[in-house]
Structure formats: C-alpha cells, structure tokens
C-alpha cells in the first residue's frame, strides 16, 4: 500500500478536516455515507436558523404589529429561500457513493441510472496525503480517489484521520479486488 510516486490530488472532494463520511460494506454493496455527526451539524444549524423565523413571527403576534401583504410576502420569500438552502445542504451532505457488485456499477446518490460507472473500469485506489496550511493550524489531509483504466481519477472522500481513511481504503480495495497505493505530497 506504500508508493512514493508523486500523484496530485483531484479538486476538493468534501473539503472536510474531520470525518464526515463512513464506509459500510455488505455482501454486494460498499457505501460511503454521511456520519451522524455531519447530519447532526446541519440539523442543529437548521434548528437555529428556523428558530429565528419562528421568533420573528412570534414578535409580530406579541407586539401586534400590522401584518401587511408586503411583510407577509417578504417573510415567506425569505423563509422559502432559507428552507431551500437547508434542504440542499442536507442533501449535499447525505450524498452517498455506492459500489454495487450485483449491478457491477459505481454511482453517486440514490439513482443508479444517473451517470453509472462500470466497476470493471476501476483500476486502483489512491490515498494522497498533503499538508494543509490554515491561519489557525496546519494539518495533514488525506484524500481517497479511484483511478480508472483510462487514467481518469475520481475523488471519493477526504479528511484528516489517516488511520481511518487507510483502513476504509484497504477494505474498499479488497471489496473491489483492486490495489491501493499511498502517496505523500
């Protein structure tokens, strides 16, 4: 699993410095899905934002402010926009990467007919380690990507927990019966 060949990471996959996805393997499927911590974070944020709107509506009733059509329309437009953003955020966090051996395909999301990729085209897996420099601290990020027969690389996950990503990469490599290489840049 060790290889010193220089290989560059693909564009940011999940942009997380914490573990926001986990691998689950069954007899015929391997699925990367959001952890409960990632889902809880967006749910708590949603509760906080929606509480603001409830508080705002509550103030209109307590203060007995005049409810004009413009006020109601503005309130509903903002509420609709915020709800749409929250739903989009939750769906984006819960976007699953699935490897289905029974169907012989890899796909993202819940629809196997939308841009499936034949598993037989997956040549190998790569883990790329790179140092991330930020204002507060520096850390190493690890990205798991798969390389296809045509040398195209597709990013799967990234986070800073080296041992977990290496373990999940090895489990996925065994599941797919491909090799897994480690690169440090």
Domain that holds residue 80: 37-93
77, 93, 109 - which closes a domain: 93
Query: Does residue 97 contact residue 25 with C-beta atoms inside 8 Å?
Result: no
| Residues 143 and 170 placed together within one structural domain of the fold | yes
CB count within 10 Å of CB 159 equals 20
- On whether both 53 and 71 belong to a single domain, the answer is yes
Which two structure tokens, joined as six digits, stand for 62? 């307590």
Residue 169 lies in a domain: yes
Residue 14: what pLDDT? 43
CATH number at 103 reads 2.30.29
Q: State whether 157 and 73 are in the same domain.
A: no
Residues 74 and 152 in one domain: no
CA distances from 86 to 18, 35, 57, 146, 161 (A): 21, 17, 19, 30, 27
Domain membership of residue 5 (yes or no) is no
Q: Which of 71, 93, 115 is the last residue of a domain?
A: 93
Using CA of residue 110, residue 115, residue 119, residue 125, what is the dihedral sign?
negative
* 99 CB burial (10 A radius; 0-12, 13-18, 19+): buried
Cα 125 to the chain's mean position, in Å? 18
pLDDT for the residue numbered 130: 83
pLDDT at residue 91, as a whole number: 72
Q: Residue 157: which of 165, 138, 115 has the closest Cα?
A: 165
Q: How many domains does the chain have?
A: 2
The contacts of residue 102 (CB under 8 Å, 6+ apart) are 28, 29
Supply the pTM of this predicted model: 0.69
Task: Single out the residue in 93, 108, 137 at which a domain terminates.
Answer: 93
Judge whether 181 and 1 are in contact, CB under 8 Å.
yes
Q: pLDDT in tens for each of the 185 residues of the chain?
A: 444 444 554 444 444 445 678 888 998 999 988 877 777 877 888 888 888 888 877 877 777 777 778 878 888 888 888 888 888 877 777 677 889 999 999 988 777 878 888 999 999 999 998 887 778 777 788 889 999 999 989 888 887 788 888 999 999 999 999 999 988 77
Residue written as token pair 């984006």: 92
| Residues sharing a CB contact under 8 Å with residue 2, sequence separation 6 or more, in sequence order | 181, 182
The residues pairing with 147 across neighbouring beta strands, listed in sequence order, are: 124, 153
Looking at the fold, whether 102 and 86 belong to one and the same domain comes out as no
148 and 119 housed in the same domain: yes
């Amino acid at each position: 699993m060790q290889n010193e060949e220089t290989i560059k990471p693909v564009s940011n996959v999940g942009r997380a410095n914490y573990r926001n996805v986990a691998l689950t393997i069954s007899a015929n499927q391997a699925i990367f899905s959001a952890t409960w911590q990632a889902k809880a974070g967006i749910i708590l944020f949603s509760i906080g934002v929606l509480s603001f709107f409830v508080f705002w509506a509550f103030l209109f009733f307590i203060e007995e402010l005049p409810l004009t059509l413009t006020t109601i329309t503005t309130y509903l437009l903002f509420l609709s926009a915020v709800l749409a953003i929250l739903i989009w955020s939750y769906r984006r966090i819960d976007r699953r990467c699935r490897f289905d051996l029974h169907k012989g395909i890899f796909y993202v999301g819940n629809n196997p007919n939308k841009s499936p990729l034949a598993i037989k085209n997956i040549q190998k897996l790569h883990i790329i380690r790179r140092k991330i420099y930020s204002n507060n601290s520096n850390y190493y990020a690890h990205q798991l990507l798969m390389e296809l027969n045509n040398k195209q690389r597709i990013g799967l996950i990234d986070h800073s927990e080296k041992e977990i990503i290496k373990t999940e990469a090895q489990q996925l490599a065994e599941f797919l019966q491909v090799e897994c290489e480690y690169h440090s840049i």
